[in-house]
Amino acid sequence: MLENLALTIVIPVYNEQENLARVQKELLEYINQSHTITTVLFVNDGSSDNSQSLIEEICNKHMAFNYISFDKNYGLSAAIKAGFDYTTTSLVGYIDADLQTTPLDFDLLLEHIETYDLVTGVRTARKDSVVKNMSSKIANGIRRSFTKDGMDDTGCPLKIIKTEYAQRIPMFRGLHRFLPAMILLQGGKIKQVPVRHFERIAGTANFGVWNRLLGPLMDCFAYLWMKKKYINYKVANKG
């Protein structure tokens, strides 16, 4: 059944010039072996380095690669939302440009996407620092207590979502951490699948303790407010 699916892989980019050659190589390898019709959409989030020139070079060489570029830096949630908004395939995936997860593991998620509306990775044997691992573990515990989504690693940068669900998510800053919970609010089904994790080998991480711990705690209160106000409906009939 996978050969009947079409997938857009969204890659947010913010000052990742050192990683883009490897992104091109690994995504091409995945596209060439995938059983799905797969394209890549770069979202340049106002990079100040040479990322945009490299993105344009990649897209000019390969028809499966496309891009949109922001006029300034808006943040990861905005980049992900723009990727969802500009997706025209039935499925949309997400991976970070640092490739601490591998696109090859999209196939592990695709195995479940017919039954579920979002399938997210869970990073096993994480190759991050002790501080980053501990802060992420605490932040995930806090989010789980607020959202009751049962997800162990909502920050994993490897996800596939049915596009009709992704495009209904009312994104606000920080909501990329709540994607599974937002699918549940729509009455969708979610699943987590173990995926591989690798060390960052180039570029600089853009997130500190505030982004991983204190920021997400504040976002939890925003999520609870939004959940209380969230509108969801099903049309029974029309004429």
Q: Are strands 91-95 and 6-13 parallel, antiparallel or unpaired?
A: parallel
Print pLDDT tens along the chain (239 aa): 555 689 999 999 999 999 999 999 999 999 999 989 999 999 999 999 999 999 999 999 999 999 999 999 999 999 999 999 999 999 999 999 999 999 999 999 999 999 999 999 998 876 555 556 565 666 666 666 666 777 778 788 999 999 999 999 887 777 788 899 889 989 999 999 999 988 777 756 655 445 555 666 677 777 777 778 777 777 788 88
pLDDT at 81: 95
Cα angle 180, 108, 141 (rounded to 5 degrees) comes to 35
Query: What's the confidence (pLDDT) of residue 3?
Result: 56
Q: pLDDT at position 174, please?
A: 77
Q: Which CATH architecture has domain 2-229?
A: Alpha-Beta Complex (3.90)
Q: What stretches of 131-189 adopt beta strand conformation (E)?
A: 158-162
pLDDT for the residue 11: 98
How much is the pLDDT for 142? 66
CB 93 within 8 A of CB 159: yes
Contact in structure between 186 and 227 (CB atoms under 8 Å) = no
The pLDDT of residue 201 is 75
Burial (CB count within 10 angstroms: exposed 0-12, middle 13-18, buried 19+), residue 221: exposed
Rounded CA separation 83/41 (Å): 7
Q: What is the reported pLDDT for 189?
A: 97
Task: Spell out the domain ranges in the chain.
Answer: 2-229
